[in-house]
Chain A
Amino acid sequence: MTLNTLRAVLFLVFSVAITNFGFASQEDEDQDEGFNATEMIMHHVKDAHEFHIVDWNNEPISIALPIILYTDNGLVTFMSSEFHHDDSGSVIVEKNGERFVKYHEKIYQLDAGVDALAFDEEEEPTNASKPLNFSITKNVFMMWVSVLVLFLIFISAARKYKKANNYVPRGIASFVEPLVIFIRDEVAIPMIGEKKYRRFMPFLLSVFFFIWLNNIFGLIPILNGANVSGNIAFTLTLALFTFFITMFSGNKNYWKHIFWMPGVPVPMKIFLAPIEIIGMFVKPFSLTIRLFANITAGHIIILSLMSLIFTFQSIAIAPVSVGFSLFILIIEIVVVAIQAYIFTVLSALYIGMATAEEDNH
Chain B
Amino acid sequence: MDLITPGLGLVFWSIITFFILLVILRKFAWKPILGAVDERENGIKNALEAADKARMEMENLKADNERILNEARAEREGMLKEAREIKTKMVSDAKEEAQEQATKMITQAQEAIENEKRSAMAELKNHVASLSIDIAEKVVREELSNKDKQLELVESMLGDAKLN
Give residues in A with beta carbon < 8 Å to B: 42, 45-47, 68, 104, 132-137, 139-140, 143-144, 147, 150-151, 154-155, 157-159, 161-162, 167, 173, 176-177, 180-181, 184, 198, 201-203, 205-206, 210, 231-234, 236-238, 240-241, 292, 296
- Nearest B residue to A42 via CB reads B3
A144→B20 CA distance, assembly (Å): 11
CA distance A8 to B102 in the complex (A): 118
Query: What is the bound-complex CA distance between A205 and B35, given in angstroms?
Result: 14
Number of A-B contacts (CB under 8 A): 127
Contacts of A167 in B (CB 8 A): 36-37, 39-40, 43
Among residues of A, the one whose C-beta sits closest to the C-beta of B12 is: A134
Given contacts A161-B33, A176-B33, A232-B3, A133 and B9 within 8 Å (CB-CB): yes
Query: What are 27 A-B contacts with C-beta separation under 8 Å?
Result: A42-B3, A45-B3, A46-B2, A47-B10, A134-B8, A134-B12, A154-B25, A154-B30, A155-B25, A155-B29, A161-B35, A167-B36, A180-B37, A184-B34, A201-B30, A201-B34, A202-B26, A202-B31, A205-B25, A206-B21, A206-B30, A210-B21, A233-B7, A233-B10, A233-B14, A236-B6, A240-B15
A113 to B32, CA, bound (A): 60
Query: Do residues A134 and B9 form an inter-chain contact, with CB atoms below 8 A?
Result: yes
Nearest CB on A from B41, distance (A): 9
Q: A132-B9, A147-B20 are in contact. List 12 more A-B contacts (CB 8 A).
A: A147-B21, A154-B28, A155-B29, A157-B29, A180-B30, A202-B26, A206-B25, A231-B7, A232-B4, A233-B10, A233-B11, A237-B15
Contact: A181 with B37, CB < 8 Å? yes
Q: Which residues from chain A contact B13 at a C-beta distance below 8 Å?
A: 134, 136, 140, 143
Q: Which residue of A lies closest to B22 (CB)?
A: A206
